[in-house]
Chain A
Amino acid sequence: MSDQDKDRSMLLQKEMLAEHYRRLEAAPETREPVVYTFVPGNLTELIRSFGALPVLPEINALQSAMRGKSQGYIAAAEKGGHSEDVCSYVKCDIGMARAGNVGPTGTRLPKPDLLLLSYTGCYTFMKWFELLREEYRCPTVFLQVPYEGDGSQTPAMRAYVARQIRETLIPALEKATGRRYDEDRLKESLARSRAAEDDLVAVLQSARKTPSPIDAYFGAVYYVGPIFSAFRGTEEGLAYYRALREEVEQRAARAEGPATPAGRLDAQKYRLVVEGPPNWTHFREFWRMFAEEGAVVVASTYSKVGGTYDLGFRHDPADPLGTLADYCSGCYTNRSLPARVEMLERYCREYSADGFLVHSVKSCNSFSAGQLTMLREVERRTGLPGAFIESDLVDARYFSAANLKNRLESYFQMLEARRTGAAVPA
């Protein structure tokens, strides 16, 4: 896709990211502090309130994969003793660090002044930062976000997280950045987050329309990029989401579909709900397999890993630490499997889906373990046909294009047959 074919919001995001990576590269000279943290449970507003720049290792890993660099990094990590069995994000990041820490855009990433381990919804995060601590020999601060095993956050969980932020994280950030905690600054940032979240939700929920003006899986990974990474609570983030919402609303008014690798998808034959992260090594090829068949994704769970705003959560400037605790707790992978099933069921109904598809990735047990049960449960509750396909996040060895295409084509034929009442092909 050339720049000419891209939406204005995509160009805006590209500029924002490029500028962010330029600032990161210059950080050793400008002395802007750098804090590494993860997407789920990221405390971007808090980090930036200390004048620090966030680095999200998962974003670097997926960007490296989209640029064809992940395989070399993974090979380097495995040569260094990392098992083939474990998360490829981790190995990609370790490999990148050992290759000079040149980020996906070609600029060098600075070493962290602090590793902020927000332990939210993923066991591997804990090991990942233990490993990075060995690479960078820098301070690490730990935030435990209790898992919503019973389906919701309890007052005790909320208080535990908020107190950790106040008693552990804020002192660690003060020490790493040399700045005092400024609650007013944090509140201003949270107010901007809230406004941007309204716009993001409007964008995601536009997929209820027919045709959908967005693709809520492949397209949504671009839409959630700024709010899941370095830009939540920033002026740039706010402007981006205003522009994105306008763009999507205009597209909806014209009854146009989203731009895809196969061209604009106005003629949408199948509306799908998707569970699981995408593959990043063959992202556009994977997307094309859907778009060429006229399949548009109308809702996805992956676009909620960095926050479940469409379920009603908004950052609340009136309760800055409590709202950060709420935010962390509600991220998708911190939710129990029954809660995830309820979300999927709701998506299938509210977005008038024709089918439901699980893309299971080898790397991520937080997503993958239990997906087969979820598939059966969603099928049972909705009566919609489900499909199950597999690959990986950033390890190209597990992406079998022919196999995936075959399975998807069969699935679309089945949807078509159900629609027309014809016999389902064997």
Chain B
Amino acid sequence: MTEPSPRAAVVDWAAQIAEDLDFAAARAHLAENPGRKAAGYLPVYAPREIVRAAGMLPVGVHGGGDRLEIIRGDAFYQSYICHLPRSVIELAQSGRLDFLSAVLFPATCDVIRNLSGTWQLVSPEVYVRYLDLPQGGASELAAEFWKEELGVLAADLGRIAGRAVTGDSLREAIAAYNAVRSLIRELYRVRRETPWRVPSEELYLLLRAGETVPLEAFVERARAYLAAVEADAGRVRDKARVVVVGAFCEPPPIGLIKTVERAGCSIVDDDFLLGNRMIDGDVPLDGDPLGALARAFVGRAVRNSTLYEADPEGKRRLIGERVAAARADGVIFASASFCDPALLDRPMLRAGAEAACIPCIAFQFAENTGQFQQFREQAGTFADAIKLWGGE
């Protein structure tokens, strides 16, 4: 039997972890040292630096995708609520998340917000914190408030972990996540410049796995992947370059990402697993680390549908800016069904795209969507239109 290539080894590793509904990798890490603890977080953005600074393992909870049969989850949510919370509840109720000592719920939407309350009611033994991310644009007042909130979180997690968050431990964590952000920026750059070398399916799996394992394991594999990609020029493919917008919370099934790219599109930018790229650039390491982390979010969070857009023209311009930065040919608005942030934003974003003569299509999915024929046809037709007629 031949050894897999270095690249295939990384992808296999990522796929195994990303698709493991029992979080064996995270459990194994905790088992190595009985004192270790883990904190889960829901999409989109959570300050993982603070979790790490408390000595805990941050674990992204992104639902069960199309691999999880929903038995208990449907008893918690009506049919007109998106799929993610029912699969998260299914994971929790089936004991798959019982290794988490804390769960953090960011201010992504009312469903995620209320899921924090559901968790408080059904799992009162678990530490639950709702993270009310500041909205309304950058201001010193918002940064002060957010710093105070982060301080409460740091104190609470320190208590749970039995290891207080200190200035030094937080600085170390910020530096470590700066390295992660830098690596992810590099992965996105390589895909943007040579998309045939970085299939989006692989990039997605790598990032998803990275939210389950200790940061060092992700960094090692991501570097190995980048090195393997650099060593392999690959075969240039002339596909339509597209930006996928709207799938920042409930993740699309891997099959959908594959389908879009096999139908003639290259995804050159996306908002999958957006929390990894929520802070644009590095967080400064000098001065007060908690303040620096707070100001980084308030001042440099990337614009997206979960945040208020203070600039009246911002929504109209956003897609044009992203398409230009990615040198894309068009946009696919791919939103989870019943996703308020994505679907309420879509008319504004699409109007801006159309005003800028950017070709676009839109569809909705659920994390457990199993049939991709309609997406294949839609994406294929879109790619053909772009290639043949420049999208007209």
- Listed in ascending order, the chain A residues whose CB lies under 8 Å from chain B are 80-83, 85-87, 90, 117, 119, 122-124, 126-128, 130-131, 133-134, 137, 140, 142-144, 146-147, 149-150, 156-157, 160, 163-164, 167-168, 336-338, 340-341, 360, 362, 365-366, 368-374, 377, 390
Contact A130 to B315, CB < 8 A, known contacts A337-B117, A338-B120 = yes
Answer yes or no: B78 CB below 8 A from chain A CBs. Answer: yes
Residues in B with CB closer than 8 Å to A341 are 121
> Are B148's CB and A365's CB within 8 A?
no
> Are A144's CB and B117's CB within 8 A?
no
Answer yes or no: B325 CB below 8 A from chain A CBs. Answer: no
> Are A123's CB and B121's CB within 8 A?
no
B55-112 interface (Cβ within 8 A of A): 75-78, 80-81, 85, 105, 107, 109-111
Answer yes or no: B113 CB below 8 A from chain A CBs. Answer: yes
CB distance from A123 to the nearest CB of B (A): 5
Q: Is the interface of B mostly helix, strand, loop or mixed?
A: helix
Residues in B with CB closer than 8 Å to A87 are 340, 344
Please list 16 pairs of residues, one from A and one from B, whose beta carbons are closer than 8 Å in the complex, sorted by A's number. Answer: A85-B80, A87-B344, A124-B110, A130-B315, A137-B312, A147-B107, A164-B141, A168-B139, A168-B141, A336-B130, A337-B117, A337-B121, A338-B120, A369-B81, A372-B75, A373-B76
Within the complex, which residue of A81, A160, A371 is in contact with B141, where a contact is CB–CB below 8 Å? Answer: A160
Which residue on B lies nearest to A82, using beta carbons? Answer: B347
Q: In the bound complex, how far is the Cα of B305 from the Cα of A144, in angstroms? A: 16
Answer yes or no: B162 CB below 8 A from chain A CBs. Answer: no
Number of A-B residue pairs with CB-CB distance less than 8 Å in the complex they form: 158
Residues in B with CB closer than 8 Å to A336 are 116-117, 120, 130
Contact A360 to B78, CB < 8 A, known contacts A85-B338, A373-B122 = yes
Answer yes or no: B195 CB below 8 A from chain A CBs. Answer: no
> Are B137's CB and A142's CB within 8 A?
yes
Answer yes or no: B158 CB below 8 A from chain A CBs. Answer: no
Answer yes or no: B230 CB below 8 A from chain A CBs. Answer: no
Residues in A with CB closer than 8 Å to B346 are 81, 83
Which residue on A lies nearest to B362, using beta carbons? Answer: A81
Chain B residues bordering chain A, tally (CB within 8 A): 57
Within the complex, which residue of B77, B312, B341, B351 is in contact with A123, where a contact is CB–CB below 8 Å? Answer: B341
> Are B344's CB and A124's CB within 8 A?
yes
CB distance from B250 to the nearest CB of A (A): 12
Contact A142 to B136, CB < 8 A, known contacts A85-B343, A156-B149, A365-B81 = yes
> Are B141's CB and A163's CB within 8 A?
yes
Q: In the bound complex, how far is the Cα of B268 from the Cα of A15, in angstroms? A: 59
> Are A122's CB and B110's CB within 8 A?
yes
Q: In the bound complex, how far is the Cα of B144 from the Cα of A126, in angstroms? A: 22
Residues in B with CB closer than 8 Å to A337 are 114, 116-118, 120-121
Residues in B with CB closer than 8 Å to A140 are 312
> Are A119's CB and B308's CB within 8 A?
yes
Most buried by B among A86, A123, A140: A123
> Are A156's CB and B312's CB within 8 A?
no
Answer yes or no: B251 CB below 8 A from chain A CBs. Answer: no
Which residue on B lies nearest to A360, using beta carbons? Answer: B78
Residues in B with CB closer than 8 Å to A124 are 110, 340, 344
Contact A377 to B121, CB < 8 A, known contacts A365-B81, A369-B115 = yes
Which residue on B lies nearest to A390, using beta carbons? Answer: B78
> Are A372's CB and B111's CB within 8 A?
no
Q: In the bound complex, how far is the Cα of B128 from the Cα of A377, in angstroms? A: 18
> Are B78's CB and A144's CB within 8 A?
no
CB distance from B309 to the nearest CB of A (A): 6
Q: In the bound complex, how far is the Cα of B345 from the Cα of A81, in angstroms? A: 10
> Are A134's CB and B308's CB within 8 A?
no
Answer yes or no: B145 CB below 8 A from chain A CBs. Answer: yes
Q: In the bound complex, how far is the Cα of B314 from the Cα of A130, in angstroms? A: 10
CB distance from A400 to the nearest CB of B (A): 14
Return the CB mask of B213-253 against A: 1 if under 8 Å, else 0: 00000000000000000000000000000000000000000
> Are A149's CB and B132's CB within 8 A?
yes
Residues in B with CB closer than 8 Å to A137 are 312
A-B pairs, top 6 by smallest CB distance, nearest first, are A337-B117, A149-B130, A127-B344, A142-B136, A365-B110, A369-B114
Within the complex, which residue of B76, B107, B316 is in contact with A372, where a contact is CB–CB below 8 Å? Answer: B76
Within the complex, which residue of A127, A133, A390 is in contact with B341, where a contact is CB–CB below 8 Å? Answer: A127
Within the complex, which residue of A130, A149, A160 is in contact with B129, where a contact is CB–CB below 8 Å? Answer: A149
> Are B134's CB and A144's CB within 8 A?
yes
Answer yes or no: B9 CB below 8 A from chain A CBs. Answer: no
Q: Given A85-B364, A366-B110, A370-B76, output 4 extra A-B contacts at Cβ < 8 Å.
A: A82-B343, A83-B346, A338-B121, A365-B81
Q: In the bound complex, how far is the Cα of B139 from the Cα of A143, in angstroms? A: 12
Q: In the bound complex, how far is the Cα of B316 from the Cα of A241, in angstroms? A: 45
Residues in B with CB closer than 8 Å to A163 are 141
Q: In the bound complex, how far is the Cα of B116 from the Cα of A366, in angstroms? A: 12
Residues in B with CB closer than 8 Å to A370 are 76, 114-115, 117-118
Q: In the bound complex, how far is the Cα of B77 from the Cα of A390, in angstroms? A: 12
Which residue on A lies nearest to B305, using beta carbons? Answer: A127
Residues in A with CB closer than 8 Å to B364 are 83, 85
Which residue on A lies nearest to B145, using beta carbons? Answer: A160
Answer yes or no: B348 CB below 8 A from chain A CBs. Answer: yes
Q: In the bound complex, how far is the Cα of B79 from the Cα of A390, in angstroms? A: 10
CB distance from B322 to the nearest CB of A (A): 18
Q: In the bound complex, how far is the Cα of B77 from the Cα of A337, in angstroms? A: 14
Q: In the bound complex, how far is the Cα of B122 from the Cα of A369, in angstroms? A: 14
Residues in B with CB closer than 8 Å to A390 are 78
Which residue on B lies nearest to A83, using beta carbons? Answer: B343
Residues in A with CB closer than 8 Å to B118 are 337, 370, 373
